[in-house]
Amino acid sequence: MNVFVDTSALLAVLDRDEAHHAQAASTWAELLERDEDLVTTNYVLVETYALAQRRLGLDAVRVLAQDFVPLMTVTWVDAALHDAGLAAVLGANRRDLSLVDCVSFGTMRQRHLDAVFAFDADFGAQGFQLVPDS
């Protein structure tokens, strides 16, 4: 099974003080043990790097870059996917829905991915299966 990996999950694994840390760390280990194909985007990584640097420091950024990213397939967002994500944000007319999330939804649909490692209810609202089940 291919599983998309969201910022919310990566931060939860990295941050021991995050509310979902234990569940996220366990799920990450389980996904690796089952040898799941983990997919993310460069937009998710940029967002995660920025948040990890601000909240946790550069050591967390190094761990993410050196230990996590090599375990995932990174889909690089092209202009068409970016434009579709921006159109989705503007069309949704919701201040709390991000461009990164809309690009993630588009990537998942393009790659026919149903499952997402995330703690973001917007993925479930879009019809994707949250891993772990929330």
For the chain, 134 residues long, give each residue's pLDDT as a single digit of tens.
899 999 999 999 999 999 999 999 999 999 999 999 999 999 999 999 999 999 999 999 999 999 999 999 999 999 999 999 999 999 999 999 999 999 999 999 999 999 999 999 999 999 999 998 75
Residues 5 and 44: beta-carbon distance below 8 Å: yes
Compute how many other C-beta atoms are within 10 angstroms of the C-beta atom of residue 96: 7
Q: Which residue has the tokens 């990996």?
A: 5
Predicted confidence at residue 134, as pLDDT, reads 56
Give the predicted TM-score (pTM) of the model: 0.95
Residue 130: how many CA atoms within 13 Å on its side-chain side?
A: 16
Q: Could you tell me the domains of the chain?
A: 2-131 (3.40.50.1010)
| Residue 106: closest CA among 77, 71, 69 | 77
